[in-house]
Amino acid sequence: MEALPLIPGAVVGEGAISSWICDDPGPEGSELGGSVVAMWAISRFRVPEASREAFVERAQAAVSFMASCEGVEVVELLRSLDEPNLWSILSSWSGVGSYRRAFNGYEAKMVLVTLLSEAIDEPSAYDRPDEVGENFPRSR
């Protein structure tokens, strides 16, 4: 599988998630070049056809907001090939701290939190197993 270059702050187009390896050396001082993406966030949504247009508009606003956040490497709005009412926002971040800081501030609360509160209730943050350490199931 050929790795695609990942550019901080970019919304990468079709086929972006072909590899966790970044080939682009990135800007000077960047830790992207040849490194493994630090963490992934996957939020899935069930969207009835009647709500699709409004959802896509709000989801694209969330993707644009995330793309402007420090530490984002890739962010995409995706639709399932198998279930047309299943959508996801997939993002990769330089670290969990960058991901969490993206939720700070008024605009984040209005754009991200309102949309993500409608996501399927399941864990959404992922990292390589050797980086996770001791992990406990969340309580429901």
Within-domain flag for 102: yes
Domain count, the chain: 1
Say what the pTM is: 0.71
pLDDT, greater one: 123 or 38: 123
Within-domain flag for 54: yes
pLDDT at 30: 40
Distance linking the first and last C-alpha atoms of the chain = 38
Within-domain flag for 75: yes
Within-domain flag for 18: no
User: What tens digit of pLDDT does each residue of 53-74 get?
Assistant: 999 999 999 999 999 999 999 9
Assign residue 99 the CATH number of its domain.
Answer: 3.30.70.100
* 34 has a pLDDT exceeding 80: no
Within-domain flag for 74: yes
Within-domain flag for 56: yes
> Which domain, by its residues, includes 99?
39-127
Cα–chain center distance at 6: 13
Q: Which two tokens stand for residue 138?
A: 């969340």
User: What tens digit of pLDDT does each residue of 79-130 get?
Assistant: 999 999 999 999 999 988 999 999 999 999 999 999 999 999 999 988 887 7
Within-domain flag for 61: yes
Within-domain flag for 135: no
